[in-house]
Amino acid sequence: MTDQPWAAPHADRPLDALVAVPGSKSLTNRYLLLAAVASEPTRLVAPLHSRDSALMIEALRALGAGIVVEPGGDVDVAPAGTIRGGARIDCGLAGTVMRFVPPLTAFADGDVHLDGDERARERPMDGVIDGLTGLGVRVSHDGAPTRTLPFTVHGQGAVTGGDVTIDASVSSQFVSALLLVAPRMLTGLDLRHVGDRLPSKPHIDMTLEVLRARGVDAREVGPGHWRVEPGPVAGGRILVEPDLSNAGPFLAAALAAGGTVRVPHWPARTTQPGDDLREILARMGAVVDLAADGTLSVTGTGVVHGLDLDLTRAGELAPTIAALAALADSPTRLRGIGHLRGHETDRLAALVTEITRLGGEARELPDGLEIMPATLHGGVVETYHDHRMATFGAVIGLAVPGVEVRDVATTAKTLPNFPGMWRRMLGSGEVAAA
């Protein structure tokens, strides 16, 4: 990290850009993990390459998978077979690594130690730890029970499986983590969620869908209740969809700056919650069109409207929507996102602090944010190691002169070369994926 903040470019004319967004983080890391436990090799076509995917690749290699990144970026995975004990795994700040990998280490033939960035030690892990404990797997730190990273999973080579109940109200990733490795459990898994809410439901549907696509019998049997049967996980060739949440800041740019931004290869059908952007951006004032060839166009009309929005199902979109809300001509209320306090940073506090720093008006609600119309000014946006706080600053900077972003390199968590892509979007013309 350099101390010199990045000067967010200000848009001096309407945009006209085609932006090819790299592969989905959520899909890439699910496919990688499933490839490591598959019964045959897997080839991932157009996966994401970023800090989060690199951490997943390193974790799976340490556990015995053979992973080769081809020069063009495709990834070949040879399954691990036996999961190797003795590894020390760095989860960085990746939710998909710190939540998805521990259940896999339960199958290791020995202890596996997991740790991550300083902030990773504060992110909630309760559902994963309770799930493992409920399955008879011991998790400890320095010999004592723990609720957070760092910890050691005491693998015993096999997991029987059965009925497990967890509270996933602060992260859907607890559910996905246990479901992903469930086909390897001797009796499969019958998983129930207790708790008054369940965020990011599309990400749980994504987990069920990638399992089914690999030949696994994985189903939602009722609200907050899932069942995965034991059985082999198929390999084969998988084309990874572009990351629709990472498309968010580029599409939002069309509203902030005016003009049109197009994103190719938008899937006709997807479990990615980023698909909700089509409706959300239209409600905020954009003209949105998905062409038959899969190109999504978003055109700004010169106005940005606020909105009242329940983001329970798509919380990772909140920083992008909040940036537009800070530029809007009417108030915004974002609800159902209390769990964002446990994301890369406490995103509700960070968004209020940074909107206020730029002259805006925002306040925290128990489960969300309220953002009022205001005239913004320049300033240095702090990012708190959060990729989406950096792209939040970039979106506002298009419309407000003098915005700088501290540690823009933090975008490498899911979108390396974000500054280059952003600059080329402003120069108009084609922006190739990083």
Ligand X SMILES: O=C(O)C1=C[C@@H](OP(=O)(O)O)[C@@H](O)[C@H](O)C1
Instruction: Write out the catalytic residue numbers.
Output: 316
- State the distance between the two ends of the chain, measured CA to CA, in whole angstroms: 20
Comparing CB distances to ligand PEP, the nearer of 193 and 343 is 343
In the numeric block, which tokens belong to residue 343?
Answer: 């994301």
C-alpha–C-alpha distance, residues 352 and 6, integer Å = 21
Q: Which of 71, 3, 1, 63 lies closest to 32 in space, CA to CA?
A: 63
Amino acid (one-letter) located at 283:
R
Site string for ligand X, 165-204 (x = CB under 6 A): ------xxx--x----------------------xx--x-
- The answer to whether 88 is a known ligand-binding residue is no
Comparing CB distances to ligand X, the nearer of 105 and 272 is 272
C-alpha–C-alpha distance, residues 292 and 388, integer Å = 30
Residue 386 in the binding site for ligand X (CB under 6 A) = no
Q: Report what 388 binds from ligand PEP, ligand X, none; CB cut-off 5-8 Å by kind.
A: ligand PEP
Residue 26 in the binding site for ligand X (CB under 6 A) = yes
Comparing CB distances to ligand X, the nearer of 26 and 152 is 26
Comparing CB distances to ligand PEP, the nearer of 382 and 386 is 386
Subset of residues 72 to 101 that bind ligand X, contact rule: CB under 6 A? 95-96
Contact assessment for residue 409 and residue 117, using Cβ atoms and an 8 Å cutoff: no
240 HSE (CA, 13 A, CB side): 27
Residue 271 in the binding site for ligand X (CB under 6 A) = no
Q: How far is the CB of 397 from ligand PEP (least distance, A)?
A: 20
Question: Roughly what angle, to the nearest 10 degrees, separates helices 244-257 and 387-399?
Answer: 20
Q: Report what 297 binds from ligand X, ligand PEP, none; CB cut-off 5-8 Å by kind.
A: none
**Binding site residues, ligand PEP, CB under 6 A:** 94-96, 316, 343-344, 388, 414
Subset of residues 331 to 370 that bind ligand X, contact rule: CB under 6 A? 339
Q: What is the DSSP letter of 192?
A: E
Comparing CB distances to ligand PEP, the nearer of 15 and 34 is 34
Q: Which of 31, 155, 152, 30 lies closest to 89 in space, CA to CA?
A: 152
Q: Which of 29, 9, 2, 8 lies closest to 413 in space, CA to CA?
A: 29
- The answer to whether 95 is a known ligand-binding residue is yes
Contact assessment for residue 176 and residue 99, using Cβ atoms and an 8 Å cutoff: yes
C-alpha–C-alpha distance, residues 208 and 413, integer Å = 25
- The answer to whether 70 is a known ligand-binding residue is no
In the numeric block, which tokens belong to residue 353?
Answer: 């602090």
DSSP track, 286-324:
-EEEE-TTS-EEEEE-S-----EEE-GGGGGGHHHHHHH
Q: Report what 172 binds from ligand X, ligand PEP, none; CB cut-off 5-8 Å by kind.
A: ligand X
Comparing CB distances to ligand PEP, the nearer of 337 and 396 is 337
Q: How far is the CB of 404 from ligand X (least distance, A)?
A: 26
Dihedral angle computed from the Cα positions of residues 220, 224, 227 and 232, in that order, rounded to the nearest 10 degrees:
80
Q: How far is the CB of 429 from ligand PEP (least distance, A)?
A: 28
C-alpha–C-alpha distance, residues 120 and 139, integer Å = 17
- The answer to whether 209 is a known ligand-binding residue is no
- The answer to whether 343 is a known ligand-binding residue is yes
Q: Report what 346 binds from ligand X, ligand PEP, none; CB cut-off 5-8 Å by kind.
A: none
Q: How far is the CB of 345 from ligand PEP (least distance, A)?
A: 10
- The answer to whether 297 is a known ligand-binding residue is no
Length of the chain: 434
Comparing CB distances to ligand X, the nearer of 101 and 403 is 101
- The answer to whether 171 is a known ligand-binding residue is yes
- The answer to whether 25 is a known ligand-binding residue is yes
C-alpha–C-alpha distance, residues 94 and 416, integer Å = 15
User: Which residues are part of a known binding site for phosphoenolpyruvate?
Assistant: 25, 95, 123, 173, 347, 388, 413
Contact positions toward ligand X, by CB under 6 A?
Answer: 26, 95-96, 171-173, 176, 199-200, 203, 315-316, 339
User: Which residues are part of a known binding site?
Assistant: 25-26, 30, 95, 123, 171-173, 200, 316, 343, 347, 388, 413
User: Which residues are part of a known binding site for 3-phosphoshikimate?
Assistant: 25-26, 30, 171-173, 200, 316, 343
